[in-house]
Chains A and B, each alone.
Chain A
């Protein structure tokens, strides 16, 4: 049986591990070839371990184990030249581009008065400008292919103002807006653009969860904002990937400009 994205090519940022790797594998399982980029390096102030080149190589290994092709490059979503080179080389090798997953992002927890200008700039430039770079640089290839699907990873924090995350919330609301604006401008090319809004996902980013007790002390009234209504602790990367797969596939051929929450009800609570 043909896979649900058989023969398509997907470009994924932040693909060394976590959700990005999971997206690469889920799409590859259903027949897609992959172009993968990741920073694979440190980001100042990060409260969890950063992805490495070894991680990206592991993504390559796992995609190849599914008998799909993958072109992987170390590239920073803030670096347009590096991004353009990775995208263009990937498309040259794999032939076309159909799916884009703007997934790369960072999250640094801090109460509003402890956020430094450096953390603000870094978060906005990776999470928001990086997404803009991703879409603007890939869209010409989708237009050339006659259409496609772009999925931008926002967050529950792109729909509600979760506490202790001011730069993250600002960046993710920005992504929500970008998805809607791009959806409109790219519609005439049959390119669909949707945003994905996860609640907590079991990835390395979750290592910083230990910060919450300190932050919630004195802010107890805000704890409920972090609650999911379904009785679960965390979602798996694959839950997010299943939404990416649906949005990427022809099954969603008329779904665009949508904010898809995979959040166990968090944003409704």
Chain B
């Protein structure tokens, strides 16, 4: 018997990276999945976008686990798209128990006063308002089940403390914590739990690229993955440079499961101790 057997989970940003990992980990433990992803590029991102092929690969891997999945291309900046995807998923899979609001972007790197207006706005639209729209579209379905539920909002270590040159990201991720805490209180009477996860550097396409290497190693003209590794290790207390997507998924799984039935309002760092440094 899986740890989330028979439950249905809605996951945003599920085409690859952490989102795909969450889908697979929850499916391994018995959940069916509703998955969305933008599957498009954004000009401010310095890394290749997720594609529809990536999302199809998530579908393939979930189905290989003998779980059902309803996947759609949808943009968290557009409430109607999010709502129609989750509505269609629930219509097909019958219920909703778990939300993983994971979709997010890294954006470009600038000092706060140099961030272009449109990039600031787009960051908030995706990394903060997108999380809110995800919750807004999902809550009526979880509540309708009458069984309670678990929503896990993906913040970041940058939602707990500051990093220079990504003020828009830090602000959005701090905002996710405030949203999480408010939802935890508002939804408690319905036994819907709301928690956030706070990864340190995770080995995914969003991070493992030259732009990030430069952010962490401004001292080197063309930093390599090895140069980044050294700097990344400096963030963490445990002697490791980064964590894997599955490490975040294991935290999501635990928070999603009934083992955490009385855990709500928690900001859970999966950050190798970066938060105490």
Listed in ascending order, the chain A residues whose CB lies under 8 Å from chain B are 180, 183-184, 187-188, 190, 192, 199, 228-232, 235, 239, 242-243, 245-246, 251-258, 260-265, 267-269
Contacts and interface: CB of A to CB of B under 8 A. Distances in A.
25 contacts: A183-B276, A184-B277, A187-B238, A188-B239, A228-B262, A229-B188, A230-B191, A231-B189, A239-B262, A243-B260, A251-B247, A251-B250, A251-B251, A251-B253, A252-B270, A254-B272, A255-B268, A255-B269, A256-B237, A256-B273, A260-B266, A262-B262, A262-B263, A265-B265, A268-B265
A263 B266 CA distance: 9
B82 interface: no
Contacts of A242: 259-260
A232 B189 CA distance: 9
Interface of B: 181, 184-185, 188-189, 191, 193, 200, 236-240, 243, 247, 250-251, 253-254, 259-266, 268-273, 275-277
Given A253-B247, A255-B270, A264-B262, 9 more contacts: A184-B277, A187-B273, A229-B265, A242-B260, A255-B271, A258-B275, A260-B263, A264-B264, A265-B185
Contacts of B243: 254
Nearest to A246: B254
A230 B237 contact: no
Nearest to B197: A255
A251 B250 CA distance: 6
Contact of A230 (B239, B247, B262): B262
A254 to B, nearest CB: 5
A188 B240 CA distance: 9
B259 A246 contact: yes
A190 B237 CA distance: 9
B192 to A, nearest CB: 9
B262 A254 contact: no
A229 B262 contact: no
Contacts of A261: 263, 265-266
Nearest to A267: B265
Highest count of chain A CB atoms <10 Å: which of B193, B239, B276: B276
Nearest to B242: A254
Contact of B237 (A235, A246, A257, A262): A257
A260 B237 CA distance: 18
A231 B273 CA distance: 33
A246 B258 CA distance: 12
A254 B240 contact: yes
A228 B185 CA distance: 10
B51 to A, nearest CB: 29
A210 to B, nearest CB: 23
Contacts of A251: 247, 250-251, 253-254
Highest count of chain A CB atoms <10 Å: which of B185, B263, B272, B275: B263
A231 B264 CA distance: 12
B262 A183 contact: no
**A-B complex: 5 closest residue pairs judged by Cβ atoms:** A268-B265, A187-B237, A242-B259, A229-B188, A251-B250
Nearest to B254: A246
Highest count of chain B CB atoms <10 Å: which of A245, A260, A265: A265
A184 to B, nearest CB: 5
Given A184-B276, A231-B191, A254 B185 contact: no
Contacts of A268: 181, 184-185, 264-265
A265 B264 contact: yes
Nearest to A198: B262
